[in-house]
Structure 1
Amino acid sequence: MAVSDKQPLVIVGGGMAGAMLALLLRRHGAGSVVLVESHPLTLPETPPLTPSFDARSTALSAGTLAVLDELGLGLAIREHAAAIGTVHVSRQSRLGLTRLSAQEEGVDQLGAVVENRWLGFVLLGALFSDDAITVRAPDALTGMRRLEYGYQVSLSSGDTLHTPLLIAADGARSKTREWLGISARDHDTGHDALIANLSLASSHEGIAYERFLNEGPLAFLPLPDQRFALVWTGPREQVAQWMAMSEQDALAQLQARSPAGAPRLTGLGERQRYPLVLTESCAQVVPHGVVVGNAAHTLHPVAGQGFNLTVRDLQALASTVGGSDHPGSLRTLQAFASRREKDQALIGQASRWVPELFRVQHPLFAHSRQLGLVALDILPGLRSGFAKRAMGL
């Protein structure tokens, strides 16, 4: 049986990347989309409007907010997000810092930070509101067969789908990527990220702080209701010690590392740790198959670029294949990959090398880093270019 190009596009993985892609594909002309997710996907009867002290969050760049605006979701996201008006970048125990300002860049905000549960609620609401998007959850791929014009995929529910384009969005350990015959490289940095929320004695005033320490970057990201989202990275053994500390001791350690002028920290929520194992697929496209999101690349959390890079990928993929008569053709998919190559390489390299550079203790490198931060602070053109890249513009 030949697969028709009028068959639905199939996305495996119903996380933020998969959900965003389904909506973008429809926005760009895809006739129908099937989203397959192994976990249940249901809209809560009551919207998660009350902030949770232990909820995880995501930093959205101005570029990502523009994509959400395109989908008609930006206003809903902003209603329960904290705007980033300034990004304050500094180095512990060294002179030199820089500030990126929304006002200087002529934008309303550099980005925003939103709790994942609210972002997920808004995305799911949009998915279930589109009759041309079929959500199969819980369900999972159990097998696939390559046909002349696409794939036949078998599901755990017993159903069979035919598609001209199979999209792997099922995370860094993607089984769909493996079945497409695409391998991946893992780089274990030996570091972990500690994630938590912090309560503050005063308003953060929309300032996000990125502080480079000897052990690794420390980020305080503004959240609604006088809170910070914390991303504290360091060697695995040290993160284990931070995890084992009492709340009072951990707060004291964080306060000692905080940049001057940041609000005083008053409370620390539930701590979670994640190994910083960076994954990169050895290819992103094959005939009638493509990998996106963490299945394609995972980044160091420095500067919060991972999800925002993915959104730029999804936007490019949707605009390339959404209205195409042959969305799975290798020529079409290679056009998408070529569009994204430069941005992915630049952001990927920066996320790997910036944390390493700031950990080097040789005086020459320390002096160069100091000069770099000073240069960013006193040269508006250089600072603006850096800000536009960070905003995804």
Structure 2
Amino acid sequence: MKQYDVVIAGGAMVGACLAIALDELTQHQLHIAVVEAVATDDQQHPGYDARSIALSHGSSRLLDSIQLWPALAKVATAIKHIHVSDRGHAGMVELSAQQLAVDALGYVIELAAAGEIFHHQLATRPQIDLFCPAKVEDIERTQSEALIRLNTGKRLRTKLVVAADGALSHCCDLLHIGRNEHDFEQVAIIANVTTAEPHQGQAFERFTQHGPVALLPMSQGRSSLVWCVEPQQQARIMALSETQFLAELQTVFGWRLGALTLVGERHCYPLILRQAQRLVSHRTAVIGNAAQTLHPIAGQGFNLGLRDVMTLAEEIAAGVARGADIGLPTVLGRYRERRLPDRQATVAMTAGLVSLFANNNPALVAGRNLGLMTMSLSNTLQAPLLRRAMGQVKR
């Protein structure tokens, strides 16, 4: 039975980030295990599939603090301009990196490219052991430690278990950490598209009566599409030919990037807000999508998860520095207290935007468009939204 200081269940971006952050912030003092169910070089790895993620400006700075950003920057596409609009109405907001005197408002990274970088990091850090492919099959907690059994037969002992194994966390289920769910009654269709006009680093969020449509700038002139539709539209839209799909998307999105010319493989998934009922338990912490899974509106999911990672890593490093047992409430309680306000505010913002822009009540339509137009003229009104969008959030 191997002894570890921390065992992280889940080795995609959030779990890998935590392992690296712990290694960096404790100056390689901890022995860390990462348990990942799917081989990271598997093209079907759900954490490193065809999707892209939007990284806020603040997230890039957090990644830089743990020596990850230089490698990720090479596969990142800068977001120089954000255009937010409501289809069929006049209200809109435009934000630019130039007006805010920053290099970029954020970045877009393909998960497959990120996967290679994280896998290399995990494989080359002596204090991190990667068990992959392997699954956590059982967790037994005593007062002084947690005992973990993997499906490979290996057994691990640790002071702290971290659940970073995604929205339907098996670890949370094993530990009886419940989750609350809210179905947005929308489905996200994701794909990569090519446009006739170069995107020039522009990101678009367009609200329609059925849900938001986002196009984020990618490498090679492509854009990453997230198209939210009603569930009853899913089968029809997924069955469209490429030409039909592009024509329907063109009608919804408009012509701001000229004609939509190509679309890659399409994927879809239901949009459900999931929140773990507890962020900590005895010798357990919950982070990333295991802690909360958000609607993709405003691209907050990974950025919120990364703030979980960095806060937990900071509290563990502080505990190590003072000789504390990192699995006890003296350490984990601080993580929970620091994360709750940001978590609640980000969930409220994303869920609120979905409700506001999916509602066709004439009074709400008029109000939100007046709000968008007013916000476009007022730096004071823009500021709170902008701070959260750029990841400039207190942890």
Out of 93, 114, 117, the position equivalent to 2:112 is 117
Out of 249, 252, 264, the position equivalent to 2:259 is 264
Given that residues 34 and 128 in structure 2 are in contact (C-alpha distance below 8 angstroms), is that contact kept between their aligned partners in structure 1?
yes
Separation of aligned partners in 2, 1:70 and 1:369: 38
The normalised TM-score by structure 1 is: 0.93
Partner of 2:366: 367
**AA paired with 2:218?**
L
Separation of aligned partners in 2, 1:128 and 1:258: 42
Partner of 1:82: 77
Separation of aligned partners in 2, 1:304 and 1:142: 32
Where 2:198 maps in the other structure, the secondary structure is coil
Partner of 2:352: 353
Given that residues 171 and 295 in structure 1 are in contact (C-alpha distance below 8 angstroms), is that contact kept between their aligned partners in structure 2?
yes
Partner of 1:154: 149
Using the TM superposition, name which of 280-289 and 350-359 deviates more: 350-359
Report the CA distance between 1:391 and its aligned residue: 1.0
Report the CA distance between 1:302 and its aligned residue: 0.3
**AA paired with 2:334?**
A
**AA paired with 2:360?**
Q
Report the CA distance between 1:299 and its aligned residue: 0.4
Report the CA distance between 1:7 and its aligned residue: 3.8
Separation of aligned partners in 2, 1:219 and 1:42: 28
1:34 aligns with 2:29: no
Using the TM superposition, name which of 121-130 and 81-90 deviates more: 121-130
Separation of aligned partners in 2, 1:41 and 1:268: 26
Where 2:99 maps in the other structure, the secondary structure is helix
Partner of 1:326: 325
Given that residues 41 and 116 in structure 2 are in contact (C-alpha distance below 8 angstroms), is that contact kept between their aligned partners in structure 1?
no
Where 2:334 maps in the other structure, the secondary structure is helix
Partner of 1:19: 16
Partner of 2:189: 194
Out of 224, 235, 243, the position equivalent to 2:238 is 243
Partner of 1:91: 86
Report the CA distance between 1:42 and its aligned residue: 4.8
1:175 aligns with 2:141: no
Report the CA distance between 1:259 and its aligned residue: 4.4
Q: What are structure 2's unaligned runs of at least 5 residues?
A: 44-48
1:253-332 matches, within 5 Å, as: 253-259=248-254, 261-324=256-319, 325-332=324-331
Report the CA distance between 1:43 and its aligned residue: 9.7
**AA paired with 2:227?**
W
Separation of aligned partners in 2, 1:102 and 1:189: 32
Report the CA distance between 1:166 and its aligned residue: 0.5
Partner of 1:9: 6
Given that residues 178 and 276 in structure 2 are in contact (C-alpha distance below 8 angstroms), is that contact kept between their aligned partners in structure 1?
yes
Given that residues 163 and 290 in structure 2 are in contact (C-alpha distance below 8 angstroms), is that contact kept between their aligned partners in structure 1?
yes
Partner of 1:165: 160
Where 1:322 maps in the other structure, the secondary structure is helix
**AA paired with 1:279?**
R
The normalised TM-score by structure 2 is: 0.92
Where 2:220 maps in the other structure, the secondary structure is coil
Using the TM superposition, name which of 264-273 and 68-77 deviates more: 68-77
1:114-140 residue CA offsets vs partner (Å, 9 max, x unmatched): 111111111111111210001011122
Report the CA distance between 1:170 and its aligned residue: 1.0
**AA paired with 2:133?**
P
Report the CA distance between 1:76 and its aligned residue: 2.1
Question: How many residues are paired up?
Answer: 381
Separation of aligned partners in 2, 1:43 and 1:187: 31
Where 2:303 maps in the other structure, the secondary structure is helix
Where 1:257 maps in the other structure, the secondary structure is helix
Separation of aligned partners in 1, 2:19 and 2:263: 36
1:57 aligns with 2:56: no
Given that residues 292 and 313 in structure 1 are in contact (C-alpha distance below 8 angstroms), is that contact kept between their aligned partners in structure 2?
yes
**AA paired with 1:23?**
I
Separation of aligned partners in 2, 1:264 and 1:69: 37
Given that residues 32 and 133 in structure 1 are in contact (C-alpha distance below 8 angstroms), is that contact kept between their aligned partners in structure 2?
yes
Report the CA distance between 1:260 and its aligned residue: 5.2
Report the CA distance between 1:186 and its aligned residue: 2.0
Where 2:293 maps in the other structure, the secondary structure is coil
% identical equivalent positions: 36
Separation of aligned partners in 2, 1:142 and 1:257: 45
Where 1:164 maps in the other structure, the secondary structure is strand
Given that residues 90 and 259 in structure 1 are in contact (C-alpha distance below 8 angstroms), is that contact kept between their aligned partners in structure 2?
no
1:21-54 residue CA offsets vs partner (Å, 9 max, x unmatched): 111111221512100112223599xxxxxxxxx9
Separation of aligned partners in 2, 1:159 and 1:227: 44
Given that residues 187 and 269 in structure 2 are in contact (C-alpha distance below 8 angstroms), is that contact kept between their aligned partners in structure 1?
yes
Separation of aligned partners in 2, 1:364 and 1:98: 20
Partner of 1:47: none
